[in-house]
Structure 1
Amino acid sequence: MPTAVGRELETVLDDLLARARALDPVFGCDVADRLAAFVLRGGRRNRSRFLWWAARACGAGEALTPALLRVAAALELIQACALVHDDVMDRSALRRGGPSFHTQLEARYADRCEAPGAFGASAAVLAGDLALSWADDLVAAADLPAATRDSVLEIWGLMRTEMVAGQYLDLYTQATGTRSTTLALRTACLKTARYTVERPMALGAALAGADAATAAALGAAGRCAGVAFQLCDDLLGVFGDPEVTGKPAGDDIRAGKNTYLVALALSLAASGPDTGALRLLDRSLGDRSLTEDGLAGVREVLRATGAVARVERRIRRLTVTAERHVSRAELHGPAASTLVRLLREVASPGPGRDDGPHAVPSSPSSPSSPSAAARRPGGGR
């Protein structure tokens, strides 16, 4: 299925690139071509797979294949928008095992721009906007059944707004220093869970004409699995090996992000007898110059407070709850089993991560220590 989406992307991007190059060759080369290359070397296409298998499990036939592939391609483009913008906001130099989009443009004009960093960031914002525009155009032009078009467009609109709201909350907590486990989970739900799992599954169910009860069950399952996905990603953001994950380790700490892992560790440290742990976290969070030794100290505190173990337990509970919700849906055939497997993958260590091979660190008492798990090869934010 990811191969079919890749072919669909190649088809639609050929036309979109031709239009961009006709507008201006510099824009076409620097922005449109680079964006297309970024999209085509995507990860495991998890969002597309959730849409596809949810639709099939809800009874979608072969006649819906063109519409499913077109909306799936649009999901990959909106994912590209999110990643390009996310890397600008996080000042991240790596993505998918190579330079992030803004870093590529900074390097291209480093010898000609007075402020290559500002140029690269600004151009990357435009590239993300272009990806979003292309995604919207694909959905608007998709050959959708009249009975489902309004539902699909409503879900699509909600997903875009939720993604932006979650991204803003991420920035807000960094800027204000807010440390709240409740807000961290809310951010994870809006920023990642809904547009990664819940809304793609909802789009598939809508395209297949699923009944309200089935759509609701899939939505609840997707929300649980999507939050688990983000909690796994939070762990990887601290413990992951960049050569395996394709992204830097420690960026969330240096940026001062209010992840659930961090907020929980602060709460546990504040209520415990070791005031040194709380002081270390307070001075390390948001420290852009934090050294590798300093990051190692943060990792140790995260383990010692019990935050890592608690996050892992929450991930397992969310995965079990997701499967329970799926069992209540009216699903059909082998596609139902595939959908359950995808939910397990995205909310678990190792395979199933979406943007380069990822693995989740386990607690020190488990067979795989954080250092071992961070090296474990996995699947394809």
Structure 2
Amino acid sequence: MTGPHTREVPPPRGRVGTPAADEAFRTRVDNALAAFAAAKRAQLADISPDLVPFVDAAIDFVAGGKRLRPLFCRAGWLIAGGEPDLVGFDDAAASLEWLQGSALAHDDLMDGSDTRRGRPSLHRAFEQTHRADGLRGSAERHGAAAAILLGDLMLSWVDEQFRASDLPHLGDALPWLDRCKTEVAAGQYLDVLAQGRANVDVEQAMLVVRFKSAKYTVERPLHIGAALAGADAELLAQLSAVALPLGEAFQLRDDVLGVFGQPATTGKPAGDDLREGKRTVLIARTAELGNDADRLAIEKLLGTAEGVADLTELIERTGALAAVEADIARLEFQARSALEALPDPASDILDTLVGMVTRRDR
């Protein structure tokens, strides 16, 4: 494998924390993922040529993302005094994309999602391959098995690429990475459990938000990056005060986009969360603000394709959409207020990311 300190790094473009600098870092993350994946491809090709399309599917699956987790990891690293252009750090930050890929592969399978980022989800893509190759047995079971295995493989790559960074404080950061992986699995299970319950209130739905998304999207990447730079406990706690409300705002925005987002932008059909029966905060707010008839409608329509339009109208009519937008604004204000307590230049580093998380359209 290419060593962690041997790749050529593009020169930084623009001040740290600016869109230009963030875009330059995304390119570095892409390069780190490509170098790691090339080594994995060669390793698996030696076992069997049948594994080449398997590993290529993982590489394609993590392409084109927003790179939010690496960006927050970098923010924590810079706030704690890490060198902006240290090549080894790129591997550590990029490894979080494999965690994202693993979580999405499994999440799409559990939800029965057909698409991801405008393309077939992994299990659907492998179903198509099964049919195209004329394989025997169930295409659905083949697709599910392949998605589970590929998700597991990407999860193992998180640790492998993270350790390849070989940074001086790697041992300090590993416990935060371990927590991150444990918490996202816990959040996923709480989400699965919520789908089986007749009623999920706002507090229960927010618990899923915190552990399925907020912690592993914002808080733990910030902690990992800061720990890699030798941050102390006080700074880590200050980062949490910013990260948790910001991460919760991120997922609430995701909930809104899952119902009201434009498919051409989000890469998923409008109303997908409603069709899949997701017990999101948006649905919990609708039940909370609606009347008995509204709550009966939720029970009848949630999780059905034919109920999407009526539920969308119900979410707006009850004021649930406005309430969740108010929640997002409140959480963003809370995060920005906590940001003021961080040492300079934290505000410059995080400011662009705060807006990217709360005011996005995909």
The alignment's TM-score, normalised by the length of structure 2, stands at 0.89
Matched, 1:35 2:52: no
Identity fraction in percent: 38
Residue 370 of structure 1 is matched in structure 2 by: none
Residue 357 of structure 2 is matched in structure 1 by: 346
- Cα pair 1:58 1:330 within 8 Å, conserved: no
1:1-381 residue pairs with structure 2 within 5 A? 1-29=25-53, 31-39=54-62, 41-62=63-84, 65-110=86-131, 111-145=134-168, 148-269=169-290, 272=291, 275-287=292-304, 290-291=305-306, 294-332=307-345, 336-350=347-361, 358=362
Q: 1:331 to 1:209 in 2, by over 3 A?
A: farther
Q: Distance in 2 between matches of 1:278 and 1:36?
A: 43
- Measured on the aligned residues, the alpha-carbon RMSD in Å equals 1.5
Farther-moved stretch of structure 1 (247-256 vs 154-163): 247-256
SS in 2 for 1:77: helix
Q: Distance in 1 between matches of 2:51 and 2:37?
A: 15
Aligned pair count reads: 336
Task: After the TM superposition, list the runs of 4 or more consecutive aligned residues in structure 1 that deviate by more than 3 angstroms.
Answer: none
The AA in structure 1 aligned to 2:158 is A
Q: Distance in 2 between matches of 1:304 and 1:98?
A: 32
Q: Distance in 2 between matches of 1:15 and 1:149?
A: 22
Q: Distance in 2 between matches of 1:154 and 1:15?
A: 26
SS in 2 for 1:109: helix
Post-superposition CA distance 1:193-235 (Å, at most 9, x none): 1111111111111112223222211122111111101001111
Following superposition, the deviation at residue 323 of structure 1 comes to 1.0
- Cα pair 1:215 1:329 within 8 Å, conserved: no
- Cα pair 1:165 1:191 within 8 Å, conserved: yes
Following superposition, the deviation at residue 267 of structure 1 comes to 1.7
Following superposition, the deviation at residue 84 of structure 1 comes to 0.9
- Cα pair 1:315 1:348 within 8 Å, conserved: no
Following superposition, the deviation at residue 33 of structure 1 comes to 1.3
SS in 1 for 2:167: coil
- Cα pair 1:221 1:326 within 8 Å, conserved: yes
Q: Distance in 2 between matches of 1:330 and 1:308?
A: 35
Runs of 5+ consecutive residues of structure 2 not aligned to the other structure = 1-24
The alignment's TM-score, normalised by the length of structure 1, stands at 0.85
Residue 21 of structure 2 is matched in structure 1 by: none
Following superposition, the deviation at residue 83 of structure 1 comes to 1.0
Q: Distance in 1 between matches of 2:360 and 2:157?
A: 33
Following superposition, the deviation at residue 268 of structure 1 comes to 1.5
